[in-house]
Structure 1
Amino acid sequence: MASTVAAYKEKMKEMSMLSLICSCFYSQPHPNSIYQYGDMEVKPINKRASGQSFEVILKAPADLSPDRPQPLASPPKKKDLSLDELQKRLEAAEDRRKYQEAQVLKQLAEKREHEREVLHKALQENNNFSKIAEEKLTYKMEVSKENREAYLSALKLRLREKEMHAAEVRRNKELQAELSG
């Protein structure tokens, strides 16, 4: 099968470019025309309305000349391995498996350590954020308390000023009443 495909590819390469180009211009093949290229026959088929179709017939090669592709040779047979060689190979495979397992365990340990470091750093940042937030809240509460006290002090001062002004206005009315009366 592989040699047939290879032969087909080779023959397609040998096909003249002019015949391929001409087949593009003449959509209807000539009736009963058969093209032969060595051990390959190309017959046009008129079964398709959408374009051209061909039947390619590959003939069995008559001889195995050097220009024809040779069939693939069977791979060389493996020699029989002795029990010692098999044991050595098994031990080498086991050593490789143990080494790979150790590497995986090492990577897992490194990953775990990295995750611990990241978690520790996240906890520290969270604690720092909490402390800063608590300090800000305490500061705002103190400022708010100071502001309330300052506001109440200002209200008391204005109230005293109004009482003093009201007392002065009453005295002035009394003086005016005594003077007029």
Structure 2
Amino acid sequence: MASTVSAYTEKIKEMSMMSLICSCLYPQTSYPTTNYQFGDLEVKPINKRLSGQSFEVILKSPTDLSPDRPSPLASPPALTSPPKRDISLDELQRRLEAAEERRKSQEAQVLRHLAERREHEKEVLHKAMEENNNFSKMAEEKLNSKMEAKKANREAYLNSLKQRLREKEMHAAEVRRNKELQADLSG
């Protein structure tokens, strides 16, 4: 038990933190055992430890012309295309006309889309101008009503001041008359 724990702690010290996490998450790793050949290169995977992969790259000499060696320019049979068949002039003309129709259709669709966008932009601008005009009219009406209300309040205030002044003058005139009457009576 103690030897297993010490061996495990030694292994953890050797491993990087990322490989430790990966080995905890994926304890069963399987490495490919097949060799890959790319022209003059041969790549062999080596399974040294569970914490990572290593590869052995073998360069073949250019003089090695063994028959089982693949040619570097040869493509796999699945990727080769079948030989092209000869196209007749009528079929070529038909394809060109179809391509021209597709191009015209696509161009018309793009122009229609642009026209719709322009129309939408015009509507948005018209609506914005209308809202701006409505806002201006409402603001002007509100300002006019406030100004009229302030003017009416000012006139009412001035009239009340004039009324108080008249009352004070009438009171002062009455007080003067009373003083004159008292002065005439007493003297």
Q: State the TM bucket, normalised to the shorter chain.
A: 0.5 to 0.7
Residue equivalent to 1:156: 162
Instruction: Give the secondary structure class of the aligned counterpart of 2:133.
Output: helix
Alignment partners' CA distance in 1, 2:173 and 2:50: 126
Residue equivalent to 1:72: 76
How far 1:17 moved relative to its partner?
Answer: 3.2
Note the aligned Cα RMSD (angstroms).
Answer: 3.3
Structure 1 residues 157 and 20: CA distance shift in structure 2, 3 A: closer
Structure 1 residues 173 and 6: CA distance shift in structure 2, 3 A: farther
The residue correspondences of 1:105-144 to structure 2 (distance < 5 A) are: 105-144=111-150
How far 1:102 moved relative to its partner?
Answer: 1.1
Instruction: Give the secondary structure class of the aligned counterpart of 2:94.
Output: helix
Would the aligned equivalents of 2:42 and 2:59 in 1 still touch at CA under 8 Å?
A: yes
Instruction: Give the secondary structure class of the aligned counterpart of 2:82.
Output: coil
Would the aligned equivalents of 2:41 and 2:58 in 1 still touch at CA under 8 Å?
A: no
Alignment partners' CA distance in 1, 2:177 and 2:106: 105
Residue equivalent to 2:152: 146
Instruction: Give the secondary structure class of the aligned counterpart of 1:173.
Output: helix
Structure 1 residues 96 and 71: CA distance shift in structure 2, 3 A: closer
Which of 16, 19, 38 is residue 47 of structure 2 equivalent to? 16
Residue equivalent to 1:34: none
Structure 1 residues 128 and 5: CA distance shift in structure 2, 3 A: farther
- Ranges of 4+ aligned residues in structure 1 off by more than 6 Å: none
- Provide the identity percentage: 63
TM-score in terms of structure 2 length: 0.63
Alignment partners' CA distance in 1, 2:37 and 2:104: 45
Matched letter for residue 92 of structure 1 = A
Would the aligned equivalents of 1:8 and 1:58 in 2 still touch at CA under 8 Å?
A: yes
Structure 1 residues 19 and 115: CA distance shift in structure 2, 3 A: closer
Runs of 5+ unmatched residues, structure 1: 24-36, 43-55
Alignment partners' CA distance in 2, 1:150 and 1:91: 87
- The count of aligned residue pairs is 143
Deviations 1:116-141 (A, max 9, x none): 21122112212211221121122122
Residue equivalent to 2:59: 58
Residue equivalent to 2:38: 4
Answer 1 or 2: higher relative contact order, Cα 8 Å, separation at least 6: 1
TM-score in terms of structure 1 length: 0.65
Alignment partners' CA distance in 2, 1:20 and 1:125: 69
Alignment partners' CA distance in 1, 2:109 and 2:147: 57
Matched letter for residue 58 of structure 1 = L
Structure 1 residues 157 and 62: CA distance shift in structure 2, 3 A: same
